[in-house]
Amino acid sequence: MPDHDMIRREYLKRAGAFGAAAGATGFAGCLGGGEASGKPSTLRLGTWGGTWQELMIDAVVTPYEEEEDITIEYALGDNTDRLNKIVAQSDDPPVDVSQQDGAGLVRGETEDLWIELDADLVPMYESIPENFKSETWILQIFAASALIYNHDQVSEEPTSWEDAYLNSDHAGSVGLFTEDPTHDVLAFSLAATGGESFKDEDAAFEMYEEVVSEMDPVYITSSEEYGKMFKQGEVNVGRYWSARSAQWNSEGAPLTSVIPESGAMTTNFGNAIPQNIPENRVEWAVKFIDYTLQNNAAQVVAENMFYTNPNPEAEYPDDVEEKLVQSEDLENLNVPDFEWIAERRSDWRERANSIINEYS
């Protein structure tokens, strides 16, 4: 069984400025009007649909609803679309808790969207290592953005992104995640620079164009679709979360995830609370975040989707622990520069779509 505390310590050493605040958001004056007194009967959660929503219900929502007697209502969709709605409706946010990836959390912080968090509001706050939180958000899960391949169809384990994405033997069966090309772009930058940088955008898009023009890739728009394509043998190599690969493998798909020689990124997801939500909802929104960090929630998510919780006291069954991020992977994992990504993400979408349209 790997030493999970050691894994986290090594991860944190490499995280650098992972949790650096992009700008503090004061709590005073952050609360909105509306029904701002008394315990609310509902709480609005912005999150992803499908498998993740189902897992959140088991891991967090059901215990929260039963113990707090508050019903969770959902605003489902892609995190960028949901974040844009919060920006557009910042005076009267559409949700009380927003689940975002790392770039979305930092973008929200930069645009002064979130309330400030501390141990008085979120009891688990002090237990979470500094690099897994900022003054306005807390991560809930992380994994590797890994190279995944079908070990029944791919005869030799690929050791580089190029081995996977530019090998003519894989033409017609490589996956590109077009719903959000961010992590494909970061991976291709690592490939093009021999692991020196994930920020060489031009080199990354040269490889992206080469994949699109020469490899007849399968375009993927959701996690569920990626899993389905892998299970059906329509995709044999791709770049996605190591946690998802472990999950699909546990469901019978012959998949292996690896960290290429040039490295890979981490993928990170967490929670924040919009400013200007009704005052009577704040107490219950921060309590919901606290539930996401408790041992029960960590175990349920890890046992079903193999993501790691930043709670250093979380404990996992041995057969689950071995499928989480391993200590030997850490030296080749890069923590995303969330602020830098947030500034470029929409441009990358347009650039990727332009390339795809050119060769369609």
Q: What is the DSSP string of 173-202?
A: -BEEETT--HHHHHHHHHHHTTTS-S--HH
Q: How far is residue 300's CA from residue 307's CA, in Å, rounded to a whole number?
A: 10
Check residue 87 and give its pLDDT.
Answer: 97
As a whole number of angstroms, the distance between CA 119 and CA 114 comes to: 16
Q: What is the model's pLDDT at position 347?
A: 96
Residues of the chain with CATH 3.40.190.10: 4-142+267-338, 144-265+340-358
User: Could you tell me the sign of the dihedral formed by the alpha carbons of 197, 199, 201, 204, in that order?
Assistant: positive
Rounded to whole angstroms, how far apart are CA atoms 133 and 123?
Answer: 14
Helix axes 102-110, 79-88, angle to 10 degrees: 10
Tell me, what's the pLDDT at 166? 97
* Percentage with pLDDT > 90 across the chain: 72
Confidence label for 20 from pLDDT (cuts 50, 70 and 90)? very low
CB count in 10 Å sphere of residue 164 = 27
Which of 227-241, 317-331, 343-357 has the weakest average pLDDT?
Answer: 317-331
DSSP class of 196:
S
Q: State which fold the 144-265+340-358 domain adopts.
A: D-Maltodextrin-Binding Protein; domain 2 (3.40.190)
pLDDT for the residue 329: 72
Closest of 55, 57, 87 to residue 73, by C-alpha: 57
Per-residue CA distances from 61 to 58, 241, 285 (Å): 6, 24, 12
CA-closest candidate to residue 214, choices 206, 226, 222, 204? 206
- pLDDT the model gives residue 328: 64
Is pLDDT above 50 for 25?
no
248 CA to centre of own chain: 17
What's the CATH fold of domain 4-142+267-338? D-Maltodextrin-Binding Protein; domain 2 (3.40.190)
Task: Report how far residue 144's alpha carbon sits from residue 335's, in angstroms, rounded to the nearest whole number.
Answer: 10
Taking a C-beta distance cutoff of 8 angstroms, is the pair 245, 202 a contact?
no
Residue 25: CB partners within 8 Å, gap ≥ 6?
109, 112, 113, 114, 115, 116, 135, 136, 275
- Ramachandran angles phi, psi of 182, nearest 5°: -50, -55
What pLDDT was estimated at residue 13? 44
Q: To the nearest whole number, what is the mean pLDDT of the chain?
A: 88
Position of tokens 């979380």?
A: 314
Least confident of 215-224, 291-300, 320-329, 343-352: 320-329
* Tokens (6 digits) for 299: 């175990």
Is residue 7 within 8 Å of 326, Cβ to Cβ?
yes
Measure the CA–CA gap between 174 and 280, rounded to whole angstroms: 49
C-alpha span between 269 and 253 (Å, rounded)? 25
pLDDT at 86: 97
Average pLDDT over residues 66-81: 95
Least confident window among 213-227, 234-248, 309-323, 343-357: 309-323
From residue 151, give the alpha-carbon distance in Å to each of 166, 225, 254, 307, 320: 17, 19, 6, 22, 21
